[in-house]
A and B are shown apart, each in its own frame.
Chain A
Amino acid sequence: MSMHIGDSPEEAAFRAEVRAWLSQHAAPRSDDGGNWHDDLHAHSIACKKWQRVLFNNGWAGISWPKQFGGRGGSHLQESIFNEEQAKFETHTGLFAVSLGMVGPTLMAHGTPEQQEVFLPKMLSGEHVWCQLFSEPNAGSDLANVATRAIEDGDDFIVNGQKVWTSMGQFADYGILLTRTEPDAPKHKGITYFIVDMKTPGIEVRPLVQMTGVAHFNEVFLTDVRIPKANIVGGLHGGWAVANTTLTSERGFIGGGSSSWSVDELIDFARERGLDKDPVVRGKLAECYARAQTLTYLGYRLRTAASNRTMPGPEMFVMKLAYAQHWSRTMDVAMEIAGAHGMISGDAAGDAMHWQHNLLGQFAIRLGGGTNEVQQNIIGERGLGLPREPSVDRDQPWRSLAKG
């Protein structure tokens, strides 16, 4: 097969079909980049509505097998659809965890019953999912989770606290990491559950961020009863399952269609009469070069996904490069914004969009593993640097010093 960096004729035809359908069912994206959502409730309703439209028209889960309600298409087609969809005023963020992380995880590790019950309703938008992974003392060191699950008949009873739960206030189900065997080394005593968010004992408390919205939440679990049938990947087998979820998370953060583009930044500079300033031009060029690089890194990942199994360090490279690109572009945007860059909220006019993305950059830099976590993994897998000697890898989790 010869090299081809761009759409093949079949892919171009698919893209045209997608674009034609989208232009019938969605409005073009507004000039100010528009789809920053400061009213999360309205956003969540719009997301559900749009997911329903996708599902009814056969565009939900493009790469998912038909047996789970998907289209049975390729990952490449799904990427093409997402690229085109991003050019329209569509709302999709509510389902990022469901479709980008939980779906792939259940397809890989779920029981046939779990797949049958949950996957189709993710696609139809009936169920919204959230991720209950991070804890106050288990961030980068996720395997240190302390939320306890204790066996009780056909159930487990769970107590603990989770944090940084995106859109948890709207979720119907969660994927939950718990400690089930405190006497085993930390990676070997973790169990992965599906939990109904309406179960008694679950309390979701929104965390308001600098952007003024509460994208994230704290989730407190008190004597939450979860049936054993909701275990994914076996008792104490949760770490491998969690890694599938995290790989998917890095993939969609790194390859995500942004709520902004360098083209929009160039327009922004033009509107302020700065597009001819040579220094600004140089900075725009650097943003453009980084954006193009991410495009090709993405193409390479898609090729790898189509032609063979997932590659080594490429996805970590992409996630890191994406986070760096995001923050540098927002720095340039704030320089271009001038005095409006100081104003937060509606009075900032078209600068608000950029400021929100500046303030929101930390979700990108930190989610799915921080930039530094990516760098450590790249050192290990890209350069073969030895893992840093780990003092806690083989110790019973119970004996480790707790933060």
Chain B
Amino acid sequence: MNFDLSDEQQVISDLAAQIFSGQSTVERVIEVESGDGFDRTLWNELAKAGLLGLCLPEEHSGLNMNMVELALVLEQQGKTVASVPLWSTSIGSMAVAEYGSKDVRSSLLPAVVEGKNVVALALANYGANDVMNPSVTATDTDGGVKLSGGKPAVSFAQHASHVLVSAKRADDSIVLALVDLKAPGVTITPVEASNRQPTANIEFDVTVPATHIVAGLEGNGREALRWVHEHALVGLCALQLGISQGAIGIMSDHVKTRTQFNKPLSAQQAVAVRAADQFVTTEAIRVTTLNAAWRMSEGFDARQDVLVAMYWATEGGHSIVIACQHLHGGIGADISYPVHRYFLWGIQISTELGGASQHLSRLGKLIASR
């Protein structure tokens, strides 16, 4: 039993902290926000440090690490609300490395490691947003699969080179396809996302060659989608862990220094207790996220562990960012003050791949039907 990070993991975490806190300052976040929303300078720094290939195989110039290490890096991104497509690119490229053909691996992955390819993830769906029930339809054709239909709110779609998209055949089997976003038949419509990240809806009317069908040609589509889904969820938990810490840091500085009634706000126990509760919830997100990431890295069944972590990341993360926003009073309502970004990211993550009730419902089914 050892819940501590290894020395190597600590180095990764420190390196990520140094890059994100050094590059993604509040001023820089504002600058990127007023531009196209993609911090390419930071992206190049992450590439130089090897962090874009963190979990990719060595044969494609990756560092061959796993979900714990990725979670540590995403946590640091969350702390600084840095505007880079690290979550989608990491999870999408890991899926390609895990399930993709030799062709697609060698055409996509080396350029991901160099920072040239950016992968978007189109997992969310119109309607009930059940990841395992894709809203894009797949039809087998000669030499490939035709995709038709749309995916909502895909972050960084307008800046990505590729999108990993889930689709469903008429027989309910699943296909995971890597689609070139420049291909004819792919329509990208930018939309405004609540977290202010570049985001677009995508319509597909495109035939994907068999080499780029990452999973689902041989009946493994559902398993592969479950794999991507679980990894994506843990990635969101890690981002939310960082968001929560960032929000709490700003909030506790505020309640310590803001004076009302001739004493700091935190001298009011109603304020101090609410602040302390957010710390407790953040610790719950931390230990459950690390546990889920570790079990996944070790190849253990992590279905319940992921849902437990996701329950905290959604229900808990949501309440943390609301409390931190609330405790700022009117000061937080002014968007020149940084705390609102944590609120916006927090509520977005609590929605991205389903809210708390969805995760509890799935967890309840798993534990009650044993």
Residue B311 CB within 8 A of the other chain: yes
Smallest CB gap from B268: residue in A: A388
- Interface positions of A from 5 to 48, Cβ below 8 Å from B: 5-8, 11
Q: Given A320-B280, A375-B277, A296–B1 Cβ distance below 8 Å?
A: no
Chain A residues in 8 Å Cβ range of B294:
3-5
> Are A5 and B295 in contact (CB-based, < 8 A)?
yes
Residue A269 CB within 8 A of the other chain: yes
Smallest CB gap from B282: residue in A: A382
> Are A6 and B267 in contact (CB-based, < 8 A)?
no
> Are A375 and B2 in contact (CB-based, < 8 A)?
no
Chain A residues in 8 Å Cβ range of B311:
285-286, 289
Interface flags for B28-44 (1: CB within 8 Å of A; 0: not) read: 00000000000000000
> Are A385 and B361 in contact (CB-based, < 8 A)?
no
A274 to chain B, nearest CB (A): 9
A220 to chain B, nearest CB (A): 34
Residue B142 CB within 8 A of the other chain: no
Residue B185 CB within 8 A of the other chain: no
Smallest CB gap from A296: residue in B: B287
Chain A residues in 8 Å Cβ range of B277:
375
Bound complex: CA A270 to CA B367 (Å): 11
> Are B273 and A372 in contact (CB-based, < 8 A)?
yes
Chain A residues in 8 Å Cβ range of B266:
379, 385-386
Partner of A386, one of B256, B276, B287: B256
Stretch of B3-11, B81-89, B336-344, B345-353 on the interface side:
B3-11
Stretch of A95-103, A240-248, A275-283 on the interface side:
A275-283
Question: What's the count of A-B pairs with C-beta under 8 Å?
Answer: 161
- Interface positions of A from 249 to 285, Cβ below 8 Å from B: 262, 266, 269-270, 275-276, 278, 280-285
Bound complex: CA A384 to CA B256 (Å): 8
> Are B288 and A3 in contact (CB-based, < 8 A)?
no
Residue B194 CB within 8 A of the other chain: no
> Are B3 and A3 in contact (CB-based, < 8 A)?
yes
A217 to chain B, nearest CB (A): 31
> Are A299 and B252 in contact (CB-based, < 8 A)?
no
> Are B283 and A314 in contact (CB-based, < 8 A)?
yes
Residue B227 CB within 8 A of the other chain: no
A262 to chain B, nearest CB (A): 8
A156 to chain B, nearest CB (A): 37
- Interface positions of A from 301 to 317, Cβ below 8 Å from B: 302-304, 306-307, 313-314, 317
Partner of B2, one of A4, A289, A317: A4
Q: Given A278-B364, A282-B357, A378-B279, A386–B2 Cβ distance below 8 Å?
A: no
Q: Given A284-B367, A289-B308, A297-B283, A378–B276 Cβ distance below 8 Å?
A: yes
Chain B residues in 8 Å Cβ range of A386:
256, 264, 266-267
Chain B residues in 8 Å Cβ range of A347:
none
Chain B residues in 8 Å Cβ range of A383:
248, 252, 275-276, 279
A269 to chain B, nearest CB (A): 7
**Most chain-A Cβ atoms within 10 A of its Cβ — which of B1, B280, B360?**
B1
Chain A residues in 8 Å Cβ range of B284:
293, 297, 321
Interface flags for B295-329 (1: CB within 8 Å of A; 0: not) read: 10000000011011001100000000000000000
Chain B residues in 8 Å Cβ range of A376:
269, 272-273, 276
Chain B residues in 8 Å Cβ range of A270:
368
A296 to chain B, nearest CB (A): 4
Residue A300 CB within 8 A of the other chain: yes
Bound complex: CA A378 to CA B295 (Å): 29
> Are B287 and A300 in contact (CB-based, < 8 A)?
yes
Bound complex: CA A358 to CA B192 (Å): 48
A302 to chain B, nearest CB (A): 6
Chain A residues in 8 Å Cβ range of B248:
383
Bound complex: CA A87 to CA B363 (Å): 24
Known: A269-B368, A270-B368, A383-B248. 7 other contacts (CB 8 A): A3-B5, A285-B311, A285-B361, A303-B1, A321-B284, A378-B279, A386-B264
**30 CB-based A-B contacts, threshold 8 Å:** A1-B4, A3-B4, A3-B9, A5-B2, A5-B290, A7-B1, A8-B2, A76-B1, A278-B364, A281-B368, A284-B364, A284-B368, A285-B364, A288-B304, A289-B360, A289-B363, A293-B288, A293-B308, A302-B3, A303-B1, A303-B4, A314-B283, A321-B280, A321-B284, A372-B269, A376-B273, A382-B276, A385-B272, A385-B275, A386-B264
Residues of B within 8 A of A (CB): 1-6, 9, 68, 248, 252, 255-256, 263-264, 266-267, 269, 272-273, 275-277, 279-280, 283-284, 287-288, 290-291, 294-295, 304-305, 307-308, 311-312, 357, 360-361, 363-365, 367-370
